[in-house]
Amino acid sequence: MKQVAVIGAGISGLAAALALAEQTPDVQVTLFEGSDRVGGVLETIHDGRYLVERSADNFATLIPNALELSRRCGLESELISPEINNRQALVLHRGKLLPIPAGFSLMQPTRIGSIMSTRTLSWSAKLRLLGEFWVPRRAVDEDESLESFSTRRLGRETYENLVEPIVSGIFTADPATLSMRATMPQFVEMEQRTGGLIRGHLAARKQDVAAAARRASGARYDQFVAPRQGMNWWVNALAQRLPARSLKLNTRVLSLRSLAGPTPEVAKTQATDAATGRAWQIETASESLTFDGVICSAPAAITARLLSESLPAAATIVATIPYASSAVVAMAVDHNELRGRTDAFGLIVPRKEGRQTLAISFASNKYPARVPNEQLLLRIFLGGALSPETVELSDSQLIALAHTELRDILGWTGTAAKWQAVMRWREAMPQYVLGHLDRMQQLQQQLATFPTLKLCGAGYAGVGIPQCVRGGEQAASALVARLNASGLE
Ligand SMILES: Cc1cc2nc3c(=O)[nH]c(=O)nc-3n(C[C@H](O)[C@H](O)[C@H](O)COP(=O)(O)OP(=O)(O)OC[C@H]3O[C@@H](n4cnc5c(N)ncnc54)[C@H](O)[C@@H]3O)c2cc1C
């Protein structure tokens, strides 16, 4: 029986471990988790009548891996869609809340009418935006920042009023540093293939109206689902499908060592320990164990530390992946204490509005059963890549800040929330900065010399839950293929 270790029981590691167990009965999986629970950043607070997600509150289904995993584990019937009403998002514009134009998806204009009638853009910005049709495709074939791509194609004002706050809201990131190719490759490909975003939309519509609608949309609310009982329930239910005794909670991996190092024809046959025939040694506080293969799904900084002894060059690349911090204040307030509009799933705030808030999610408009009827659950996202110091404020400072923001942005007239909690996310959101894909290619070259070691997790190929599941599953398949091949040699 081959022994495989998976390091980290966030959603990436859980998906990898489940895929290993599903794919082959010849592999015994050990899933090491440093904390006392599975799920990593996914965590739910249950407090009386309140169900509040500390991080993700739903996941997309367009990349189907998280949905498919739920199906295979018999959990699909427990997934719910967001409420039908209020399926729109607002943007703060000169202190007023306005709907994001219905025909503007992430950064793609798809409905001329709604763009012409929006009050979020001046007339000159609208004309510049429609002029995207005639902007030539980019000739040079190198990475470009998200800010550069969207100002080049759509104009400065559209970038500042719409694209920048949408991106900051999703990635808590500075679009001037983000790699367009790594974060929104679909638009780079569209520009190259069709000549631009409007042309891309028209071409897709010609081909197939339904497919066009899907492609045009970055965030259509009917393409999201959430576990009815919250993310904790979901990750625990997934963990219960693991083979008995494979999960080791409270077991931090302290070191990872290749037992014999790469040989000259390493890509084909990684050397193994003569006594056990195994390639890897893992140490925890209480034991030292050997494994035929390892999947590491820990965050990049920890993975870099673990790799530093046996794969220093790979460790150096992994260590360059930056993570942003943010703070979230969750507050349940009475509907009748809010004077501003709340007929949406949330709002985003452009940097030029000069506020501390990145976005506010109206969480109970999406999933109403999670708080008492007369209340609205708000999650106020503060900080992000552009103001990393916010996360260091004390709880009372963050609450005071959230209260001020709520008064100014949503006309909150109350003095105390019915329920509130502060959540800090230190170095929790990976940032795919310029050159990310090139660095990932170099990383793959380094890892090729150790074919029984695979990496997965939010730091590499997508931060969303479906991408993390996909990454874990791909790592598992590649490792199983490698172990099967070496078994035949
Ligand atoms: C505030 C916030 C909101 C988000 N909202 C959404 C959303 O709405 N939808 C969406 O799809 N995505 C969302 N995301 C992104 C998504 O939730 C994460 O990218 C994803 O859950 C990360 O999973 P992971 O397994 O890669 O990493 P993690 O969740 O970080 O898991 C890593 C695990 O490794 C463990 N570990 C670390 N070191 C060791 C060690 N040495 N030994 C053993 N174990 C170790 C950790 O304890 C942890 O459990 C959000 C993220 C944040 C922070």
Q: How far apart are CA 143 and CA 146, in angstroms?
A: 10
| 420 CA to centre of own chain | 24
2-40+231-321+433-488 maps to which CATH number? Answer: 3.50.50.60
Distance 43 CA to ligand 1 centre (A): 10
Q: Does domain 107-217 fall into CATH 3.40.50.300?
A: no
Q: What percent of the chain has pLDDT over 70?
A: 93
Cα–Cα distance measured from residue 293 to residue 278, given in angstroms and rounded to the nearest whole number: 8
CA 366, 368, 369: angle at the middle one, nearest 5? 135
**Shortest-distance atom of ligand 1 to CA 37:** 49
φ/ψ (deg, to 5) at 264: -60, -40
pLDDT, tens digit (0-9, with 9 covering 90-100), for 369-383: 999 999 999 999 998
Flag whether pLDDT at 185 surpasses 60. yes
Our mutation pick for probing the ligand 1 site, out of 286, 465, 474, counting the most ligand atoms within 8 A of Cβ, is: 465
Instruction: Give the position of tokens 């590649």.
Output: 478
For the chain, give the number of residues.
Answer: 489
Name the β-bridge partners of 52: 45
pLDDT of residue 249: 98
Q: Would you state the pLDDT for residue 216?
A: 45
Tens-place pLDDT, residues 47-93: 999 999 999 999 999 999 999 999 999 999 999 999 999 999 999 99
What crossing angle do the helices spanning 465-488 and 65-72 adopt, rounded to 10°?
70
Cα-to-centroid distance, 308 and ligand 1 (Å) = 22
Residue 268 — very low, low, confident or very high, per pLDDT cuts 50/70/90?
A: very low
Judge contact between 60 and 74, C-beta under 8 A: no
Tokens linked to 138: 């980019």
Atom of ligand 1 nearest to the CA of 32: 43
Q: pLDDT tens for residues 290-307?
A: 999 999 999 999 999 999
Residue 135 has pLDDT above 50, yes or no: yes
CA-251 nearest atom, ligand 1: 43
**Per-residue pLDDT averaged across 107-130, rounded?**
94
Among protein residues, the one with the nearest Cα to ligand 1's atom 38 is 298
Using most ligand atoms within 8 A of CB, pick from 55, 63, 253, 284 the residue to mutate for ligand 1: 55
pLDDT in tens, 238-253: 999 999 999 999 999 9
Question: pTM surpassing 0.85?
Answer: yes
For residue 117, what are the CA distances in angstroms to 93, 121, 126? 15, 9, 9
For the domain covering 323-430, report its CATH number.
3.90.660.20
pLDDT in the model for residue 272: 56
pLDDT above 70: residue 261: no
Judge contact between 244 and 92, C-beta under 8 A: no
Name every residue whose Cβ is closer than 8 Å to that of residue 293 and which is 6 or more positions away in sequence.
2, 3, 4, 5, 279, 280, 452, 453, 454, 479, 482, 483
β-bridge mates for residue 206, sequence order:
none
* Ligand 1 geometric centre to CA of 458 (Å): 7
Residue 39 has which token pair?
A: 């799920």
Joined tokens for residue 170:
């999703």
355, HSE (Cβ side, Cα atoms, 13 Å)? 29
Ligand 1 neighbours by CB, cut-off 6 Å: 7-13, 32-35, 40-42, 55-59, 252-253, 297-299, 302, 328, 425, 428-429, 457-458, 463-465, 468
Question: Could you state, in order of their start, the residue ranges of all structural domains in the chain?
Answer: 2-40+231-321+433-488, 107-217, 323-430
C-alpha to C-alpha distance for 469 and 64, rounded to whole angstroms: 9
